[in-house]
Amino acid sequence: MVFQNYAVFPHLTVFENIAFGLRMQKMAQAEVERRVNRTAELMHIEQLLKRYSG
């Protein structure tokens, strides 16, 4: 995953930062969770999802 600009929100967790764009598209919560978790698995960062990015 590569950001075109560094739009990481320090007051949100890693999970919430990844999910932000999906939620803006009004995607169903179950699908957001599935996609975020799958993305985290691919990048081997599952253990970081509850951390704050700041």
pLDDT tens string 7-49: 788 899 999 999 999 999 999 999 999 999 999 999 999 999 9
In a domain, 10, yes or no: no
Whole-number Å distance between alpha carbons of 13 and 33? 13
Is residue 50 within 8 A of residue 15, CB to CB? The reply is yes
Is residue 42 assigned to a domain?
A: yes
Host domain of residue 37: 16-48
Tens of pLDDT, residue by residue over 21-30, are 999 999 999 9
Domain-located, residue 2: no
- The domain tally of the chain equals 1
> Do the domain assignments include residue 22?
yes
pLDDT the model gives residue 1: 60
26: its two tokens? 């009004």
Q: CA-to-CA distance for 35 and 48, rounded, in angstroms? A: 15
Q: Does 25 reside within a domain? A: yes
